[in-house]
Amino acid sequence: MSTRIKFCGLTREADVDLAVALGVDLIGLVFAERSPRRLALARAAALRARIPPQVSAVALVMDATAAEIRAIQAHVRPDLLQFHGGEPESFCRAFATPYLKAVPLGGVATEEAPRRASEWPSAKAVLLDGHAPGEAGGSGKRIDWTRIPDTGGQPVLLAGGLHAGNVAEAIRLVRPWGVDASSGLEHSPGIKDPEKMRAFVEAVRATDPDASASG
């Protein structure tokens, strides 16, 4: 299986169009209140309309209410939800939409990491990120790739400080289901750099023998 590529925190039409052209698998639209990449519903819906069926549109929320999530579903029609806060599994699976669950490992004791990663068995994948619990994602904080917890076979979407210069090493060490980049693709929060986007995809494909077939 090829390594999936997720670009997160896109805010501009040109960046969505380029991500699609580069063959990424998932595009993340952010609705977390504390994020500088946060989108209004109308803006997100306009970007969502540019994402074709072969690319999964992901709506990222953090401790949102059920009503807020249903509004996102109604206006944006995400293929996946991504929960980035303290949401329990019962809440995450209550919306009849497949979901990803972010598990922040920054400051988490090594022995606690496997337990945390196993708390959402119904997730399509657990997103392992480098920020501390309670912090917003997209910080660019890197995980120690040598202490990735055992997820019991659950797919891992690796995030946290990934960019074109280090994603190959991360894939070789972790062998994740997918890799997720945001700040490592940017000029500034929410403003992606086309060359960084291209270089990231090229680095993944050069490391993953099957990736070229998926693009």
Beta carbons within 10 angstroms of residue 24's beta carbon: 25
The yes-or-no verdict on residue 211 having pLDDT over 60 is: no
CATH number at residue 126: 3.20.20.70
In this prediction, residues 113-126 reach a mean pLDDT of 81
Any idea which of 69-73, 98-102, 173-177, 209-213 has the lowest mean pLDDT? 209-213
Query: What is residue 107's predicted lDDT score, i.e. its pLDDT?
Result: 53
Strand partners, 181: 7
Q: 170: closest CA among 188, 150, 148?
A: 148
For 89, the token pair is: 């599994």
pLDDT-based confidence at residue 150 (cuts at 50, 70, 90): confident
Helices (H), the chain: 13-22, 41-48, 66-76, 89-92, 113-117, 167-174, 194-207, 211-214
Report the interhelical angle of 194-207 vs 13-22 (nearest 10°).
20
Reference 55, options 98, 17, 92; nearest CA is 17
Average pLDDT over residues 187-196: 94
Residue 72 is part of which domain span? 4-214
pTM: 0.89
- Per the prediction, the chain carries an average pLDDT of 88
Which residue do the tokens 């070789």 mark?
Answer: 172
Residues 90-100 have pLDDT tens digits of 999 999 999 99
**Residue 215 binned pLDDT confidence (cut-offs 50, 70, 90):** very low
Average pLDDT over every residue of 171-198: 94
Supply the residues annotated as catalytic.
Answer: 8, 129
Once rounded to an integer, what is the mean pLDDT over residues 122-147? 70
Give residue-wise pLDDT tens across range 13-61: 999 999 999 999 999 999 999 899 999 999 999 999 999 999 999 999 9
Per the structure, the count of domains in the chain is: 1
DSSP, res 204: H
pLDDT at 148: 79
HSE-CB at 12 with a 13 A cutoff on CA atoms is 12
d(CA 52, CA 183): 24
Check residue 38 and report its DSSP letter. Answer: B
Indicate whether 78 pLDDT > 90.
yes
